[in-house]
Amino acid sequence: MRTSRLEAFSDGVLAIIITIMVLELKVPDEPTLVALGDSATGFLTYLLSFVYIGIYWNNHHHMFHVVESINGTVLWANLHLLFWLSLYPFTTAWLDESQLARTPTVVYGINLLAAAVAYYVLQLAIFRSPGGERLRTALGRDLKGKVSPAIYLAGILLAFVSPLLAVLCYVLVAVIWLVPDRRVERFVAASNPSQP
Contacts to a copy of itself by CB under 8 A: 1, 5, 7-9, 11-20, 22-25, 27-28, 31-33, 36, 47, 50, 54, 57-58, 61-62, 65, 72-73, 75-76, 79, 82-83, 86-87, 89-90, 93-94, 97-98, 101-104, 107, 178, 180
* Nearest Cα to Cα of residue 126 among 80, 83, 85, 84: 80
- DSSP 8-state assignment for residue 39: T
The minimum distance between CB 11 and a copy of itself, in angstroms, equals: 5
Please provide the DSSP assignment of 114-156 as one string.
HHHHHHHHHHHHHHTSTTHHHHHHHHTT-HHHHHHHHHHHHHH
The minimum distance between CB 93 and a copy of itself, in angstroms, equals: 5
The minimum distance between CB 31 and a copy of itself, in angstroms, equals: 3
Per the CB < 8 A criterion, the answer to whether 164 and 172 are in contact is no
Question: Which of 117-126 are b and which e, b meaning 16 or more Cβ less than 10 Å from the residue's Cβ?
Answer: bbbbbbbebb
Judged by beta carbon, residue 150 or residue 187, the one nearer a copy of itself is 187
The minimum distance between CB 89 and a copy of itself, in angstroms, equals: 6
Judged by beta carbon, residue 31 or residue 186, the one nearer a copy of itself is 31
